[in-house]
Each structure stands twice: as C-alpha cells, then as structure tokens.
A and B are shown apart, each in its own frame.
Chain A
Amino acid sequence: MNTTSAIEVFNLTKVYGCGNTEVVAMKDVNLRVAKGEVIALLGPSGAGKSTLLTAMGLINPPTAGRIVIGGVPVLDGPQPLVNLRAFRRHHLGFVFQKANLIPFLNAVQNVQVALEINDVPTRHARHRARELLDYLGVADRAENLPDALSGGQQQRVAVARALANEPALILADEPTAALDSHRGRQVMELFRKVAHERGAGVIVVTHDQRALNAFDRTFEMEDGQLST
C-alpha cells in the first residue's frame, strides 16, 4: 500500500430506516487519516460517531459516499469493491467498549484465533499471541478464560487481538470507557506506539476529555456532521 493515507472517506452518508422512521445518522462526512496518525472522534451521544466508525470498519455500509483504505477503494456507497471480510481480516483491527472476547477460549487463544483466521500456522500464532500478551502486561493471565479476568485485563487482551495481524487501520469505539484512568492512558499510549512504530492509522471514539493530549488531531461530530 504505497500511499501516505491510512484511510480516506468521501461524502459519507448513512440513513437508517425509511419513510417516517428515517434517521440521517451521518451526512457528507469527509475524513483523511494518515499512516502513523492517532485521531480522536468526539461528540455527544447520538451524534453518529459509531455509525462513522463501523462504516469505516466495513461492517455497516454507508448509504452513499466512498471509502478508500490504504489507497484501495473498498466501498462505493453500499457497494463493496473488494471482499470486505477478507479485507477486514488483513487490514483492520477493532476494539470496542466491551472486550467481546470469546468466552470458551482463554486469553492466548483469543489472540491466537485472530492470527489463525489470517492463516498463520498454529504454533507461530501461539507464540506471537504470547508475545502480544506480554507486551500488554497480561502474560501472567494467558491461560485464563475471559470470565476469570478483570474488565481491564479483558480489554488489554482485546487490544492484543486487534493488534495481532498488524492492521493498517485500528478502529476503537470508547476503548477506555471501562478502564480506570491509568489503564486508559496505558491503552492510549499503546495505540500511539503501534501507530508510530508500525505506521498504522488509529481512530478512537472517546468521551474522555482528559486524554485528548494523546491524539494528533481531534474531530467533533454533531448531528452526523464532522468538524475539526
């Protein structure tokens, strides 16, 4: 991907429902995030932040507009231009407010599965998963099922999973909401590190005003419209 943009979106619009239940959640959003850049998406509840994030994550196709990730046009309106699932597998990492770990897999396996989805051989995947957990400071709980982990530990495993395939774009929806401020700052620093070391673009939806200095740029969303 020989471009300096991690992601570019053009005139993104999303309309939920139709007729008199119609909700315009996002309107003519244009955004460009460079590789190695960490940006924040702020705004009141219902502003359309999650809608924008999931559209960029290729799991909630927009009604209109174009999405180009790493120089590859992937969506034209609701029309996929590539195999979206394969694209997610190779290039995207997700973190949500909830960790969404798979309950029947232990911590290492939860990271390992992301690698195996990407056809990394089991042994290698296991090794790499351990490294990532170590990197996130939860190596000592590697064999525990998610139920036995604290919320913060679960979230760090989820972050490890999002980083596993070295994605070009990391999308995080309120990733620190369930963490204390110290842990929250740690996760944010981690995102910065990944962005700067690996040239990934990171987009974080946050309500946390105190952590804003961790971002290269911040955007405000209001009534489906984006402003800096």
Chain B
Amino acid sequence: MNLAAQDIRHNLGRFALTAVGIGLLLMIVLGMSGIYRGMIDDALVVVDHIGADSWVVQRGTRGPFAEISRLPANLEHRLRAVPGVASARSFVSHNVQREHRGKPLRMNVHGLAWPEDKGEWVNLIAGRPLSQAHYEMIADTSLGLELGEKLVFAGDTYTVGGVTKGMVSSGGDGIAFFTVRDAQAIQFDLSGEATRLERAARVQRAVGQDIGRAQPLLLERGAGLSSGLPALGPPMVSAITVRLAEGADSGAVAKTVAAWPDVSVHTRDGQVQLLVHGMIDKARRQLGLFRILLVIISTIIMALILYTLTLDKIHDIAMLKLMGARNSMIAGLILQQALLLGALGFGIAWCLGAWVFPKFPRRVLVAPEDLWGLAVVVVIISVLSSLLGIWKAMRVAPNKVLA
C-alpha cells in the first residue's frame, strides 16, 4: 500500500491545483528557453539561407546585424574583380513600419540583387520568385499579406508575387523581399519638398566651400539629381555578400579584401558568432535570470505546499512513529509526494507548452535537450522542496499522538 498515493487521493483538489500551478511555472521556464532558441533560429535565418561565404562591411563595423554599416553599391563591382570571387551581391536590409489596411505593418525590407538573385532561396510556400526588376515583392506569411495583394511604398505600388514561411529578421519582424533598387527606393524615400530642400542646401554647402568655388560646375550639378553627383553619395548598401568560386582560397580572398582601407571582412561563421554573442547575448542572460527566478519560486511554492501537507499529517506521522514506522517510510511518503508533484507539473508544462507555444507571436523552439534539462531540474527541486517537510516530520515525537 502506498501511503503517499492514499494521502494524495484524500487531498486531491489541493494537490491537483498545486500541480497545475507548478506546471504553469515550469511551462514558462520551458518557454523562456524556447524563446531564446527561437530568437537564435530567427536571427540565423538570413545568414543561413543567403548562402554567402563572407560578408564585406563598412570598415571597423561588425556588419549589418550588429550595427549600421554603409557601403557604396559599386563596391560590388570591385569585389567581382578579386580572384576567387564567384559572385558579389548587395545586401540591403532595414525595418519599416507603415500603415496598411488601417493597421500598422512592421516589416524588414530585404533587397535581392536582381537579376542574379531573384529570391529562389527564400523558402516559398506560394507564388514565385521575383519576375521583374521593379514593383514586385515576396512577403513572409507572418506579415499577413496575401498573394496578389497590392501595397504602396514611396509612391509606388508593389504586388505580392510570392509568400514565404519562417523568414523573419533577428528582431522577429517578417521579411519582405524586393529588388535592391526597390528596397533602396523604399529606404530613401523623400517627399518632393524634402528633395528640393536637400538640393538647395547642398548647393549652399558647396558655395561655402573651397570645392564649390574651384569647380562651379558642381553647383550646377548640385541642384540636379543625386545620381549625377557621385561625390555626394548615391543610396548606399548595408553589406556585400561574397560567394567564392569552387576551390578558391578563402584566406587569400579575405586577405586581399581586408587590405582595402574602406572595408572589413567577416566570414559566415563570424557573422553567426556576432549574432549569437552580440545582440542575442543580453536577451539570453535576461531570460536565463528569469528562468532561475522561476525555478526558485517553483521550489518555494512546492516546499510550502509539501510543508503544509506534512503539517496536516503531523498527528498521523506521530502515530506511525508510535507504531514503530521507520524514518525511511515517513520521509519516503513526503519525498514521493514531492516527486509526483514535480512529475505532474512537468507533464502539464510539456503538454500545455506544446499547445500554447505555437500560438505565440514569436517563435518558441523547445529542443529535446531543454526538456531533459528541465526534467533534471524538476527532480532536483522536488527533492529540495521535500526537505522542509521531511525535517518537520523527523522532529515530531511519537507521544505527540496524545496531545
């Protein structure tokens, strides 16, 4: 006969409620590690899929995922000339938040190097890759856009030609793919008045400078299109992704490019490391601390409930001692209840998590090792939480029966 089970049957309501409470707490503990794993997974989506061997970025910066990096678009051509480079593509990525259908639409605008890159790699679930140089987009399902839907950005109308799944930025926003030109047009969209003001200001700046006086032609050009003035900068790209030719020596290519004074080079793994250790690291530590707190809270709640369950039985425990029950039997009674409570909580956490996590706005990824880890933690907190009750039970004298 199992005393622990009999006692639980007698206190079923209280026990079940505690198990649900512990289960919810453990579910959050599980969810927190899931959120972290989801963040890593999300952050690495682009790096994993884009198929770049190395990332060329603004000198001294850590690349587009870590901070702002600005490069002239024509760097692409310079890189193609390096021996061993098979392809070099502009990488343009930025977030925009616009109003669409009366609701805020937040998305990560990602430029594809049309025509070499039409977005064949983006994990399409509907539609097709980009089919023309302008006014088409591929949207992630998380943006809630439908195939054929039309959106207006920077005065131009774009049509959703393809839908992807699971393509989100490290910030969790769904990615929308455009050609690089379109992406830049969206990024550097200025109103007509702003453009006029900028041109006037540009001329004024040039007038006040030596260069403006030495080259009067510049003043004429300054009032015109930006593209006519390379010195004052066309729209820039965030990075250039480089793919190496078959059998090329990546070290040699990196050495060549790194010798240029205006850029830095990162390998693919380097970018992954920067992502994981840079931007996600704080989130990881934040979630880690929350998990530790929740585990401590779970332990205290369990200890408290086991202690009160033990206090309720103190007279019965005294009676068992009077009848000569061994300490191991009495401690076993409490320990078994603790383990059962922990196991039930773990089961509830698991089932509830499997049901709830997919409904979360950001990806929650529960890995098997997280489940095993949690199981070990549950065993430990069950044992710890039973100690208070066991200590109380060990101290009760058999003649307490007469009290």
Contacts and interface: CB of A to CB of B under 8 A. Distances in A.
Interface of A: 50, 54, 57, 59-60, 85-90, 92, 94, 96, 100, 102-105, 109, 112-114, 116-118, 122, 125-126, 145, 161, 173
26 contacts: A59-B398, A85-B321, A85-B325, A85-B326, A88-B322, A88-B324, A88-B398, A89-B323, A89-B325, A96-B401, A100-B315, A100-B401, A102-B316, A104-B7, A105-B1, A109-B1, A109-B6, A112-B1, A113-B1, A113-B323, A114-B323, A117-B324, A117-B329, A118-B324, A161-B323, A173-B402
Nearest to A145: B10
A109 B397 CA distance: 23
Contacts of A96: 401-402
A54 B402 contact: yes
Contact of B399 (A54, A105, A113, A114): A54
Nearest to B6: A104
Contact of B320 (A54, A109, A113): A113
Given A100-B315, A102-B316, A103-B10, A90 B398 contact: no
A90 B324 contact: yes
Interface of B: 1, 3, 6-7, 9-11, 315-316, 319-326, 329, 397-399, 401-402
B323 A117 contact: yes
A56 to B, nearest CB: 13
Given A85-B324, A96-B401, 9 more contacts: A59-B397, A88-B398, A90-B324, A92-B324, A100-B315, A100-B319, A103-B316, A104-B6, A117-B326
A87 B326 CA distance: 11
Nearest to B9: A104
Nearest to B316: A102
Contacts of B323: 88-89, 94, 113-114, 117, 161
Q: Is the interface of A mostly helix, strand, loop or mixed?
A: helix
B99 to A, nearest CB: 63
Contacts, number: 69
A109 to B, nearest CB: 6
Contact of B1 (A122, A161, A173): A122
Contacts of B321: 85
A114 B399 CA distance: 17
Given A60-B399, A100-B319, A103-B316, A113 B324 contact: no
A145 B316 CA distance: 14
Contacts of B320: 102, 113, 117
A104 B323 CA distance: 17
Contacts of A122: 1
A90 B388 CA distance: 30
A57 B321 CA distance: 12
Contacts of A109: 1, 6
A50 B402 contact: yes
B322 A94 contact: yes
Contact of A104 (B10, B322, B325, B329): B10
Contacts of A145: 10
A86 B3 CA distance: 20
B75 to A, nearest CB: 78
B402 to A, nearest CB: 7
Contacts of B6: 104-105, 109
Contacts of B1: 105, 109, 112-113, 116, 122, 125-126
A173 B10 CA distance: 29
B402 A113 contact: no
Nearest to B400: A59
Contacts of A126: 1
A102 B319 contact: yes
Contacts of B7: 104
A105 B10 CA distance: 9
Contacts of A87: 324
A52 B321 CA distance: 19
Nearest to A164: B323
Nearest to B319: A100
Given A89-B324, A102-B316, A103-B10, A113 B401 contact: no
Contacts of A113: 1, 3, 320, 323
